[in-house]
Structure 1
Amino acid sequence: MTIDAHQHFWRIARGDYSWMDDSVAAIRRDLLPPDLAPLAQAAGVTGTVAVQAAPTLEETEFLLSLSDTTPLIRGVVGWLDLTGDVPRQIDRLAHPRLRGIRPMLQDIPETDWILRDDVLTGLRQVAEAGLRMDALITPRHLALIDRLARALPELPLIIDHCAKPRFAGSDPGDNWRAGIQALARHPQVSCKLSGLANEFGPGWSAPRLRPVFDHVFACFGPERVMWGSDWPVLELAGTYAKWHAAAQEMAAELTLAEREALFGNTARRIYALDQEGEIQ
């Protein structure tokens, strides 16, 4: 079973996608489950994790409502205000497919915001509810997430898009490598093989992305790396089929068990996608 561990849906009229300026005009349209279904089917994808694309509770409720009528959605990573009344928000969002939350750290100017006392209190309450945190970060956050993992070992952390390495040719840089290696020392931290086509830009290919793949896989291993499409943001750089094929090419030398982990089993385990039940 292939799981796409990272994809989005949006309905523009909802009005809370503040990042959708002219630079993303190509994907600034309603993109919903019927748009993804044929792409997923062609790639053999049998389930997805739908991830928030706006920092509102309403966005999370929108995704959860889609999951009620879309069997393809196996889990939802939503958003909540970590500086507010977190238990009350979790009660509002309680749903059998809510699996985690994602503060949009890349958009917060204060790099160390995630280590504020009130945010840490909120994250402890997230962990107590049995939820995870997706980390939407860039290399400037790597040391902060290392400190977060030390402060809250009970909170599962999933690094989105391999922490968005900055490429110089095919080289993601020594600082990125060291940061990823440090995060991998924490057993509760895992990483998504996603978003790399967009970060590399024009001319991306499996060989050019392989240095990132090789390093992430060497650090985290098959039990803590999961493939995701980042669709429809992916469409700014390429197609669903091309990215899926590139990931398969990079993984060609892995064992069957390792490939099954990368393309499904790790996401199923880390996000508990086979479990249906209300959060605690």
Structure 2
Amino acid sequence: MTSAMNIDAHQHYWDPARGDYGWLTPEMKALYRVFGPDDLAPLRESVGVQRTVVVQAAPTVDETRYLLALARNDESIAGVVGWVPLDSADAPALIDEFAREPKFKAVRPMLQDLPDDTWIEHAPRPDAIERLIAHDLAFDALIFARHVPSLIKFVATYPTLRIVVDHGAKPPIRNGIDAGWQPWADGIAQLAALPQKLHCKLSGLATEARENWTDETLQPYVAHLIEQFGAARLMWGSDWPVLNLNGSYTAWHATAKKLTAHLEKAQQDAIFGANARAFYRL
């Protein structure tokens, strides 16, 4: 890959007929159908995105195998973020198995959906996390602000694990800047200040806004992420097709471009491709 490669660092493919997407119901008409590489291709091409990182959407090993099978047959998929039962005895063996797949790059437990907000502090097996580190695999943290204290403890326990915070830790933008700013903003500052140099995805923000959001709606949140993490630790992602619930691929890409336009070109190139390439070892 060339250094100027544009990469979507966070998108999904799924087939509801597979039956393990507990959150994906027929009532979600915009999402309840098959989404595959052929659906994303024209959208990617319209904004100049050549490669993507496809992220798990079901907490099952079967779905990870499904995504890896797609990746083997599609050049546009540069990496897969899969799911492994990190609290299970078979987690180390599964990580060893998946690590043999060249496009397997990271794991993501669905922390936002777990009933225990402190799960990440105590539940993952140390031997599983050590296998991730040994294979140079990364960790996607799908969190809200309420998970920050536990994530900080997890980071301290595994200081050499590469971690990226998904979707800017999902600020409640729809509540308005007064009600939706704290404790999110302080949580972002705490995570960004950790000596382990966590990364963060510039993704998922449109989904957290009210409908008919504008560039101005998202601007303070994007600015805070840039201020705290810097251009060297942010990576743009679409969160497509979840994005379709409250926006479009082209609109979110255009907004992200506009809200980062004040940065130097090298910094913009980092956010829109180079950082994902380096972080995920694409």
Q: TM-score range by the shorter chain?
A: over 0.9
- Determine whether 1:8 maps to 2:17: no
How far apart are residue 125 of structure 1 and its match?
2.4
Contact preservation (8 Å) 1:2, 1:44: yes
Task: Using the TM superposition, name which of 147-156 and 97-106 deviates more.
Answer: 147-156
Contact preservation (8 Å) 2:117, 2:146: yes
2 CA distance for matches of 1:115 and 1:211? 30
How far apart are residue 120 of structure 1 and its match?
4.1
Instruction: Look up the SS of the partner of 1:49 in the other structure.
Output: strand
91, 97, 119: which one pairs with 1:92? 97
How far apart are residue 121 of structure 1 and its match?
4.0
- Determine whether 1:228 maps to 2:233: no
1 CA distance for matches of 2:146 and 2:27? 23
Instruction: Look up the SS of the partner of 2:30 in the other structure.
Output: helix
Deviations 1:204-223 (A, max 9, x none): 12111111111111111111
Task: Using the TM superposition, name which of 174-183 and 99-108 deviates more.
Answer: 174-183
Q: Percent same amino acid among aligned pairs?
A: 44
1 CA distance for matches of 2:126 and 2:260? 36
Instruction: Look up the SS of the partner of 1:81 in the other structure.
Output: coil
In the alignment, structure 1 segments of 5+ residues that lack a partner are: 274-280
Q: TM-score, normalised by structure 2?
A: 0.93
Change (3 A) 1:118 1:196: closer
In the alignment, structure 2 segments of 5+ residues that lack a partner are: none
Alignment partner, residue 276 of structure 1: none
Q: Which runs of 4+ in 1 moved over 4 A?
A: none
Contact preservation (8 Å) 1:207, 1:250: no
Contact preservation (8 Å) 1:195, 1:230: yes
2 CA distance for matches of 1:194 and 1:13? 27
2 CA distance for matches of 1:131 and 1:118? 15
175, 179, 197: which one pairs with 2:187? 179
Change (3 A) 1:118 1:226: closer
Q: TM-score, normalised by structure 1?
A: 0.94
Deviations 1:88-109 (A, max 9, x none): 1123323000000000001101
Task: Using the TM superposition, name which of 23-32 and 118-127 deviates more.
Answer: 118-127
2 CA distance for matches of 1:118 and 1:143? 16
Counterpart of 1:44, as a letter, is G
179, 194, 219: which one pairs with 1:210? 219
Matched residue count: 273
How far apart are residue 188 of structure 1 and its match?
3.5
Counterparts of 1:95-106 in structure 2, within 5 Å, are: 95-106=101-112
Alignment partner, residue 278 of structure 1: none
Change (3 A) 1:106 1:117: closer
1 CA distance for matches of 2:27 and 2:204? 17
Contact preservation (8 Å) 1:49, 1:76: yes
Deviations 1:80-139 (A, max 9, x none): 010122221123323000000000001101010111154444223222221111011111
1 CA distance for matches of 2:143 and 2:271? 21
Instruction: Look up the SS of the partner of 1:201 in the other structure.
Output: coil
Counterparts of 1:14-53 in structure 2, within 5 Å, are: 14-53=18-57
Contact preservation (8 Å) 2:16, 2:24: no
Instruction: Look up the SS of the partner of 1:192 in the other structure.
Output: strand
Counterpart of 2:24, as a letter, is M
- Determine whether 1:115 maps to 2:121: yes
Give RMSD over aligned pairs: 1.3
Counterpart of 2:181, as a letter, is G
How far apart are residue 141 of structure 1 and its match?
0.5
2 CA distance for matches of 1:102 and 1:129? 15
How far apart are residue 170 of structure 1 and its match?
3.5
Alignment partner, residue 198 of structure 1: 207
Instruction: Look up the SS of the partner of 1:24 in the other structure.
Output: coil
Counterpart of 1:37, as a letter, is A
1 CA distance for matches of 2:155 and 2:169? 15
Instruction: Look up the SS of the partner of 2:177 in the other structure.
Output: coil
